[in-house]
Amino acid sequence: MDLPVKRLTFGLCIFVVIGNWRIGVDGSAGCHYFSIQSEDYFDSVAVCQKFKMCLADLSTKAAFDELEDKQTDRAEYWFGLNGYEKPDLSYIASSKPKDYLPPESEISVSHSCGFLKPRPNNKYVIGTAQCGLLKRFVCTPSAMCNGVPTNSSLVQNFSKGMTCNISAETSLLLTLKP
């Protein structure tokens, strides 16, 4: 492959990856990465951890609404709600319980992994499913993920117009194929 083709390929990879980032608003959690590939729940956690992030914590209505407003693809996405080998569902980034559930959410004790389920009215609800199913996933910066420090350069608040800060290491990881 000659040099101009390599540069074009690299540029296209960066464009595709950056296109999956959505920016936060004032007082928000910040960036969210919406995957285009599908993984099971546990592989989704591992991918987020490679990015120094965790599956998204949607424990409040504000966090849920923010993420819902950013999402344009109508797909099912794993996020950080999990009840695997636990007595109840909680978030793997913070260990917070499932305090907020949007109306029409469908939670089952026999399925332990949370996902965002699209509704016809351009809204999402929360559902649970078997963790081995393949779904897209959404990551967000977090200090911890599944009990492991992420070593993230966690950005707490974004000023208006500020873009997501993506480290060179994370940018490189995003462009590599598994």
Res. 114: pLDDT tops 90:
yes
Regarding pTM above 0.75, the answer is: no
Band of the pLDDT at 10, cuts 50, 70, 90?
A: very low
Position 167 scores a pLDDT of 52
**Range of lowest pLDDT (26-35, 58-67, 86-95, 98-107):** 26-35
Res. 64: pLDDT tops 80:
yes
Res. 74: pLDDT tops 90:
no
**pLDDT (tens digit per residue) in 83-93:** 887 778 899 99
The CA distances from residue 44 to 12, 50, 141, in Å, are 23, 10, 14
Mean pLDDT across the stretch 13-25? 39
Domains of the chain are 32-149 (3.10.100.10)
Mean pLDDT across the stretch 5-32? 41
Specify whether the CB–CB gap between 144 and 93 falls below 8 A. Answer: yes
Mean pLDDT across the stretch 136-149? 91
Closest CA relative to residue 44, chosen from 52, 21, 170, 35: 35
Which tokens hold the place of 18?
């950056």
Band of the pLDDT at 178, cuts 50, 70, 90?
A: very low
Position 21 scores a pLDDT of 44
